[in-house]
Structure 1
Amino acid sequence: MAGRAGDRAPKARRIRLGNREVVTEGLELSFWADISHRCMTASWPAFIGGAALVFIVFNGFFALLYWFGDQPISNVPRGAYIDYLYFSIETLSTAGYGDMHPQSHYGHFIAAVELFTGIFSMSLMTGLIFARFSRPSARLLFADNPVISTHEGRQTLMIRLANERHNIIANATAQLWVFKSGVSKEGVPYRRFYDLPLIRSQSPALALSWTVFHVIDEASPLHGLDAAGLKAANVGLGLMVSGYDDVAAQTVHARKSYEHDQIRFGHRYVEILRVTEDGLRIDYSRFHETVEG
């Protein structure tokens, strides 16, 4: 059915899901309808820049209202707009140095509205900053490439990860999925995910490094696939790790996704653990290295 005249088609949006770029069409979400999520997910430079822009716009608007009045503020020489802007900044931030103050009903009314706006906006900004700082996060380092090699006599998919903070993540749990494209019996293309069982999916205390193993046997969705088969099925991997951070006293999560061209067949990870006279040593400079074998 044709749309009504004048209707605008929603714009296409580019989003990133892990390492994959997705273009979405036919869905339009108002900027203000999800402003809280946008504030929480924006980068720190974008968040601070946006806050500064809102601060400038608010003060510029209220300074304009003062400027329209008939000398609403005392001690403003020649009614200069820049002085009203300074007074607006003092009022919105509740600083109130005292050399300038409202001297008319109009000035008091605008100042009262601005004070309410300042209190409300500062409370909102404090809450957002606290939420961004207090949001739990895990500093986990994931290997650049999954590897498929023989382990304990069986073909095995392996992914190495490490705790960059070197604190204790208790009851760490890992979950691994594979995403594959296919065609149904009706000829409809689809993309489906499968859970990949791990030899050991839990670690009582993740402090250093951990390698997760998935055996590629007859029951595995990866069984019989080589590099060309992975490409044909547009295979992707998703690894999720969660656990209890003893320092933050909160549950933390981390995830990593891989595309089929990042999987290295016939490779294994370089050993980074060794025992010396000084004790156990870990060489993280070789964390991402692999060798054939």
Structure 2
Amino acid sequence: MSRSSRVTTIRFGDREIIADGLRLNFWADISHRCMTASWPAFIAGAALVFVVFNTIFGFLYWLGDNPVSNITHSDYIDYLYFSIETLSTAGYGDMHPQTHYGHFIATVELFTGIFSMSVMTGLVFARFSRPRARLLFANNPVISTYEGKPTLMVRLANERHNFIGNATARLWVLRNVVSAEGQSVRRFDELLLVKNEHPALALTWTLYHVLDDRSPLHNMSADDMKAASVGLMVVVSGLDVVAAQTIHARKTYDHTDIRFGQRYVDILETFDNSRVRIDYGKFHDTEAG
């Protein structure tokens, strides 16, 4: 199959990137397409393949000279039903091949059915068993004073409330800069966190980046961030102790999401001297501070 150039639209946070001129082959990365498609699209695609296969094999049976027994009028719909029984390996028994031609087509269809069901079973299992991190990120990063220093903060929480062992967080800034040659380039730098590891993430975690003279965001105002088209990316990974698999989560922010002079509303409340209440209804809320 010849490769064709096409336009692809990619969303990166709030940005929409149009990739043009790539020469892509649809079948070259079909496994990735099956894994990344939504469940409705995946099921619709599987149903379409099933219908196409049965339509083709039903037509091949119909071309033969009475290749299947117990079909009175040799209508195409009867051969289609027989194809469905054969491809799905149901085999009710009332219809069966009775000629060499019928046996040959049925043999090919049985192999196709076994192969396609094996592939489908593997894809469904891979989609269900794929580790997913149910991490909730605050809608807005905030910049406020922490420990007497201006600090960028991002809050996140583990929605499952299971333990994520050895959780590691990395915070990146993306910004437009002008190179020594006078070219505008998009540069990314990692922002140092006060603590970038969590031994057992089960509830909430707030990431802190001090805006000192070592920070690429040092002394940058909202207007400065807008001029540099600043973006933030948070990447969290760790071991899901229940599934015994490494999980990853990512969240991107635009400079318009950053709230200056704000801090997160406290969502922890201790009562009865032994119990702690977490109010996730206030998880995204901020206040002046």
TM-score range, shorter chain: over 0.9
Q: 2:277 aligns with which of 281, 289, 292?
A: 281
Moved more, 43-52 or 179-188: 179-188
SS class of match (1:79): coil
User: Does 2:208 align with 1:210?
Assistant: no
Name the counterpart of 1:166. 161
Could you report, residue by residue, the CA deviation over 1:235-270 in whole angstroms, capped at 9, with x for unpaired residues?
Answer: 100001111111101111111000010000000000
Q: 1:63 aligns with which of 58, 65, 79?
A: 58
AA at the equivalent of 2:255: H
Name the counterpart of 1:96. 91
Q: TM-score scaled by structure 2? A: 0.97
Name the counterpart of 1:120. 115
C-alpha displacement of 1:10: 2.4
Name the counterpart of 1:261. 256
User: Does 2:231 align with 1:236?
Assistant: yes
Name the counterpart of 2:288. 292
Could you report, residue by residue, the CA deviation over 1:172-226 in whole angstroms, capped at 9, with x for unpaired residues?
Answer: 1100000011111212111010010000101111000000000000110001111
Please give the alpha-carbon distance, in whole angstroms, between the structure 2 residues aligned to 1:113 and 1:290: 64
AA at the equivalent of 1:61: I
| Residue correspondences, number | 287
AA at the equivalent of 2:93: G
SS class of match (1:218): coil
Name the counterpart of 1:130. 125
AA at the equivalent of 2:278: I
Please give the alpha-carbon distance, in whole angstroms, between the structure 2 residues aligned to 1:125 and 1:104: 31
CA distance 1:9–1:99, shift in 2 (3 Å): closer
AA at the equivalent of 2:287: V
C-alpha displacement of 1:18: 3.2
In structure 1, the gaps of 5 or more residues are 1-6
Work out whether residues 3 and 24 of structure 2, in 8 Å CA contact, stay in contact via their aligned partners in 1: no
Please give the alpha-carbon distance, in whole angstroms, between the structure 1 residues aligned to 2:13 and 2:260: 22
Work out whether residues 182 and 191 of structure 1, in 8 Å CA contact, stay in contact via their aligned partners in 2: yes
AA at the equivalent of 1:31: F
SS class of match (2:23): coil
User: Does 2:77 align with 1:82?
Assistant: yes
Work out whether residues 3 and 23 of structure 2, in 8 Å CA contact, stay in contact via their aligned partners in 1: no
C-alpha displacement of 1:292: 1.1
Work out whether residues 194 and 210 of structure 2, in 8 Å CA contact, stay in contact via their aligned partners in 1: yes
AA at the equivalent of 1:168: F
Work out whether residues 66 and 110 of structure 1, in 8 Å CA contact, stay in contact via their aligned partners in 2: yes
SS class of match (2:167): strand
Moved more, 270-279 or 234-243: 270-279
Q: CA RMSD in A?
A: 1.3
Name the counterpart of 1:3. none
SS class of match (1:225): coil
AA at the equivalent of 1:220: S
C-alpha displacement of 1:8: 10
Work out whether residues 9 and 26 of structure 1, in 8 Å CA contact, stay in contact via their aligned partners in 2: no
Work out whether residues 177 and 228 of structure 2, in 8 Å CA contact, stay in contact via their aligned partners in 1: yes
SS class of match (1:200): coil
Name the counterpart of 1:188. 183
Name the counterpart of 1:10. 5
AA at the equivalent of 1:292: A
Q: TM-score scaled by structure 1? A: 0.96
Work out whether residues 3 and 25 of structure 2, in 8 Å CA contact, stay in contact via their aligned partners in 1: no
In structure 2, the gaps of 5 or more residues are none
